Every structure is written in C-alpha cells, then in structure tokens.
Amino acid sequence: MRVHIRNSRAAALVLPVVLTIGVVGAYGDTIYVCWDGSGDYVTIQEGIGAATDGDEVVVCDGVYTGEGNIDADPLFVAGFLGDYYLSQTAAGQPADSPCVNAGSDTAENLGLDTRTTRSDQVGDAGIVDMGYHYPIVCVGDLDADNDTDQADLGILLGDWGCTN
Ligand SMILES: [Ca+2]
Ligand SMILES: [Ca+2]
C-alpha cells in the first residue's frame, strides 16, 4: 500500500513543507487526521490504518499523544530517493529515530519488508517502522533493470577510466 502523508500546513503553502513522507499518484481519497477531532481521525495511526492504496493522509498541525502517535523529532536523514529516511545507527547515523520499530505490526505482514526507511537501503525488518518506506535502490544497477549483474559490470568496465 502506498499512502501519501502530508502536514496540513503544506497544503496551504503558508509554511515550508515539514512532513511530506512520501509522494504517490493522488487518485484516492483524502483522509484528515486532526488531534482536536475536527478531521476524520484523531491519531495518525488510525488515519494510516483507514487509508488504501493511493489515498492521501493530511495531518493537521498540533501535538499528537497517546497510542499510535509519537511526539518527537523523527530524525530524518537524506538518502538516495529523498530526505525522509529515518536515522538509524545500523545505517551509520549517530542515533536511532523514535519511529524505528514503532509501528503496530511486522514489516513482513504489512508487505513493507521489501521497502526501506534506511539510507543504506536495507529493507525494514521486525516491527514495521513508522514513516514512508522508499523502494530499495540497487546503486550498481547501471542499466536500471532492477538487478545488479554482469550487464551492469560490463557497463562499468566499458566506462572505466572515463573522466569529465
Ligand atoms: Ca523495523
Ligand atoms: Ca542491472
């Protein structure tokens, strides 16, 4: 399932985007999560749980507490495909994000073990991490056919010694 989550301030373009976790085609419904009850749900977890593929979850400004919410800096770090990977010591960052292993089921049960929140491209394992799960990128896949093999090595060797 791919769900686009954004902060409501981003929609109003009043302030810079502060919580854009992922971007997908917006063909689904828009689900509003507002801590004060003015939206469809009061917890982010409920909003994500109600979303289906292509839905957009808009998170209203505010402080979210209670089960299913974390009120802490997610410690985003940049990676191959964006700026919203989670800081993780296993990936070489100095600290673990509070979103690591903070989900409500296993990554495998949710089908997210083939995607990643880590900047080093290791798939999510164990309890699912909160946040956007990027596709795993094979950086050596020079012909972009989704595997790294002899064809990619041939491309590399054919370009060996090239300088700009
Ligand atoms: Ca995990
Ligand atoms: Ca390849």
Strand partners, 106: 127
Rounded distance from Cα 139 to ligand 2 centre (Å)? 9
Q: Which helix (H) or strand (E) holds 159?
A: none
Rounded distance from Cα 136 to ligand 2 centre (Å)? 14
Closest CA to 122 of 134, 108, 112, 136: 136
User: What totals of helices (H) and strands (E) does the chain contain, helices first?
Assistant: 3, 7
Contact 102, 81 (CB under 8 A): no
According to the model, what pLDDT value does residue 35 have? 85
According to the model, what pLDDT value does residue 100 have? 96
Largest Cα separation within the chain, whole Å, is 61
According to the model, what pLDDT value does residue 152 have? 95
Closest-approaching ligand to the CA atom of 91 = 1
Long-range contacts of 108-111 (CB under 8 A, 24+ apart): 110/1, 111/1
According to the model, what pLDDT value does residue 4 have? 54
CA distance linking residue 156 with residue 150, whole number of Å: 10
Rounded distance from Cα 143 to ligand 2 centre (Å)? 5
Along the chain (164 residues), what's the average pLDDT of each consecutive run of 10 residues? 51 29 59 91 84 85 77 92 95 96 92 94 95 88 88 95 89
Domain boundaries, the chain: 4-59, 72-164
- Whole-angstrom distance between the N-terminal and C-terminal Cα of the chain? 42
CA distance linking residue 1 with residue 22, whole number of Å: 12
Please tell me the total number of residues recorded for the chain in this structure: 164
Rounded distance from Cα 101 to ligand 1 centre (Å)? 4
